[in-house]
């Protein structure tokens, strides 16, 4: 296989143009090769905007062709794929149990099922179809189901997000590629395997995760929805069983393998695990607001005269302030919506969500400030949770149970917003004009002001008076980490902390990859239950 990188083509190019360029670079007839796009991105750094491709070319006489070409962007590649683990020999007496059906838990279950381990998945929320109805009802009425919502249920918090699939995690074992290929296998567009910043959209993702669940069941796995994990039982630091609870009954399930893929918002579970002497530590995260601009403004800034010919533009902004804190954009949603993502009664948290077409009127992004354990009043590992709760309850009060909204200019002046400008909030869930300064400690407010003002040098008029802010964006990552050793087990043997909630991932793809890593750890040790 030959890999060609840095192929630059105009934005109005055709597939034929790409094929011709490959033919020209390799000095071969275009009928003599097949190619696959490995990466596609937009170079908007200059006025003459280009698409940039990396392609893998299948052709005869590969070595001979490369030997005749003096081009650093053309080289051989092995194009290796993910390889499954050779199973261990230790006998399993019971099925592996996975708590949580977000990307970490779902991929761990899928991999175990493929290899004959018959996993059982415990999920407190609903199946995705029922969950969507519950969430829509919450948006319309404000009546929250604490067990099934934006945070809890099949697919995890990522189900109602932009569905970003890019990750900064480098993986020589090709787990990332396997995750993307799996999404395509179960219904995602093939382009996610090569575009620079792949996303899937909440509408497509909900269908994909359902298909993965159905295939996991077909392969021998099982799912229990509407089921809470309430206790882990162990002896001499070795797991023996877990307690579960539904609306109708309680049960103790024997197990020697338990995967904790609870997500970053399962606070009651974290408390139970802490009380059970599972070793964990507080960790830094970030907190702030969602900020909305017209998508056209972002497109014009990023693309100039080509703004109407290219997909909705995104951005990534970051700065370090003199007070020692960082301010940065996070989970930017082109053409997206701000959603009420609360999971506890009388508390308000927000997130961003986009559909696959990203065709909404506004761009929104989290604009967040770094927070460290030094900021926590509670110095236990649960201190970050309490920090989040205080701000979320303040947001609920400020917004009178709705999403509190304020214009950036009013935020700077520390006055309640009373009317909108040209930017109209694009939200799932009702909103209330508010003063967000009443929610935050002053060091967060001042950091947000300084950061947003500074970003106007990168995106023109980013600090416009009528940019719409909403809060509180508090679920950026887990506020703690459950420690695990080189075998991926906690201090209680048989318990495998996994994914974003356990502190080992930061997004859909990295969480799915961590689920694969935990599957590998289990598979290396134990023999399958079935051939």
Tokens of 267: 């606070």
Res 29: pLDDT: 86
Residue 30: pLDDT over 90: no
Mean pLDDT of 11-36: 91
Residue 138: pLDDT over 80: yes
Domain segments of the chain as ranges: 2-76, 105-155+206-281+479-525, 284-473
pLDDT band at 307 (very low <50, low <70, confident <90, very high): confident
Single pTM value for the model: 0.94
Residue 458: pLDDT over 90: yes
Mean pLDDT of 377-395: 97
Inter-CA distances, 94 with 81, 251, 294, 310, 354, Å: 31, 15, 54, 53, 40
How large a percentage of the chain has pLDDT more than 90? 89
Tokens of 274: 């802490």
Residue 531: pLDDT over 80: no
Would you tell me how many other CB atoms lie within 10 Å of the CB of residue 323? 11
Res 463: pLDDT: 98
Res 80: pLDDT: 84
How far apart, in whole angstroms, are the C-alpha atoms of residue 328 and residue 451?
8
Inter-CA distances, 272 with 228, 231, 279, 346, Å: 12, 7, 12, 22
pLDDT band at 364 (very low <50, low <70, confident <90, very high): very high
Mean pLDDT of 18-23: 94
Mean pLDDT of 214-236: 97
How far apart, in whole angstroms, are the C-alpha atoms of residue 15 and residue 217?
40
Mean pLDDT of 82-98: 95
Residue 45: pLDDT over 80: no
Res 467: pLDDT: 98
472 upstream amide cis, omega within 30 of 0: yes
The answer to whether residues 445 and 408 touch, using CB atoms and an 8 Å cutoff, is no
How far apart, in whole angstroms, are the C-alpha atoms of residue 420 and residue 277?
50
Res 399: pLDDT: 98
Mean pLDDT of 249-275: 97
Residue 300: pLDDT over 90: yes
472: closest CA among 356, 278, 341, 355? 341
H helices present in 358-507, as ranges: 383-398, 408-413, 442-455
Fold of 2-76: Alpha-Beta Plaits (3.30.70)
Residue 134: pLDDT over 90: yes
Mean pLDDT of 466-476: 97
Tokens of 501: 């909630």
Over the stretch 474-509, which tens digit does the pLDDT of each residue have? 999 999 999 999 999 999 999 999 999 999 999 999
Residue 371: pLDDT over 90: yes
Residue 77: pLDDT over 90: no
Res 309: pLDDT: 87
How far apart, in whole angstroms, are the C-alpha atoms of residue 120 and residue 95?
7
Q: What is the CATH number of domain 105-155+206-281+479-525?
A: 3.50.50.60
Residue 195: pLDDT over 80: yes
Res 162: pLDDT: 85
pLDDT band at 19 (very low <50, low <70, confident <90, very high): very high
The answer to whether residues 33 and 59 touch, using CB atoms and an 8 Å cutoff, is yes
Residue 46: pLDDT over 90: no
pLDDT band at 169 (very low <50, low <70, confident <90, very high): confident
Asked if domains 2-76 and 105-155+206-281+479-525 share a fold, the reply is: no
Supply the DSSP symbol for 33: E
Res 163: pLDDT: 85
Supply the DSSP symbol for 160: G
Packing angle of the helix pair 103-114, 175-185 (nearest 10 deg) = 90
Chain-centre distance of CA 6, in angstroms? Answer: 28
Phi, psi of 525 (to 5 degrees): -95, -40
Residue 297: pLDDT over 80: yes
């Amino acid at each position: 296989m030959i890999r060609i990188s840095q192929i630059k083509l105009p934005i109005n190019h055709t597939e034929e143009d790409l094929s011709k360029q490959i033919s020209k670079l390799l000095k071969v007839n275009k009928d003599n090769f097949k190619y696959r796009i490995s990466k596609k991105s937009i170079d908007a750094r200059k006025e003459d905007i280009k698409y940039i491709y990396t392609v893998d070319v299948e052709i005869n006489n590969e070595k001979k062709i490369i030997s005749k070409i003096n081009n650093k962007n053309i080289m051989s590649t092995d194009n290796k794929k993910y390889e499954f683990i050779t199973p261990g020999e230790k006998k399993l007496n019971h099925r592996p149990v996975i708590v949580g059906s977000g990307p970490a838990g779902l991929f761990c279950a899928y991999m175990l099922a493929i290899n004959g381990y018959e996993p059982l998945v415990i999920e407190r929320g609903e199946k995705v179809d029922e969950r969507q109805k519950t969430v829509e009802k919450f948006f319309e009425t404000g009546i929250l189901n604490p067990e099934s919502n934006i945070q809890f249920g099949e697919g995890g918090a990522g189900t109602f997000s932009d569905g970003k699939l890019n990750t900064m995690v480098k993986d020589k074992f090709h787990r990332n590629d396997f995750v993307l290929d799996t999404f395509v296998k179960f219904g995602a567009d093939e382009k996610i395997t090569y575009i620079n910043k792949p996303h899937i959209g909440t509408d497509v993702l909900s269908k994909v995760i359902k298909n993965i669940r159905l295939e996991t069941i077909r392969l021998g796995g099982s799912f229990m929805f509407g089921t809470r994990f309430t206790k882990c039982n162990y002896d001499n630091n070795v797991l023996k069983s877990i307690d579960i609870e539904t609306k109708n009954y309680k049960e103790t399930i024997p197990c020697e393998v338990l995967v904790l893929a609870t997500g970053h918002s399962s606070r009651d579970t974290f408390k139970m695990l802490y009380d059970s002497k599972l070793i964990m530590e507080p960790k830094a995260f970030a907190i702030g607001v969602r900020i909305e601009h017209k998508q056209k403004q972002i497109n014009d800034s990023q693309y100039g005269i080509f703004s109407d010919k290219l997909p909705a533009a995104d951005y990534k902004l970051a700065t370090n302030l003199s007070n020692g804190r960082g301010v940065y954009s996070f989970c930017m949603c082109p053409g997206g919506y701000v959603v009420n993502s609360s999971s506890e009664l009388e508390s308000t948290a927000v997130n961003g969500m986009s559909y696959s077409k990203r065709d909404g009127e506004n761009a929104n992004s989290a604009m967040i400030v770094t927070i460290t354990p030094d900021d926590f009043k509670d110095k236990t590992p649960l201190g970050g949770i309490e920090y989040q709760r205080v701000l979320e309850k303040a947001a609920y009060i400020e917004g009178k149970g709705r999403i509190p909204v304020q214009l950036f200019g009013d935020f700077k002046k520390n006055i309640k917003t009373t009317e909108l400008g040209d930017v109209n909030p694009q939200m799932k869930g009702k909103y209330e004009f508010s003063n967000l300064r009443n929610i935050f400690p002053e060091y967060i407010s001042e950091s947000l002001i300084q950061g947003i003002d500074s970003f106007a040098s990168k995106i023109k008029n980013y600090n416009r008076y009528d940019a719409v802010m909403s809060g509180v964006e508090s679920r950026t990552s887990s506020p703690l980490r459950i420690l695990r050793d080189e075998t991926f087990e906690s201090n209680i043997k048989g318990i495998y902390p996994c994914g974003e909630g356990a502190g080992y991932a930061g997004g859909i793809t990295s969480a799915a990859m961590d689920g694969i890593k935990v599957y590998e750890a289990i598979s290396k040790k134990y023999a399958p239950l079935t051939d």
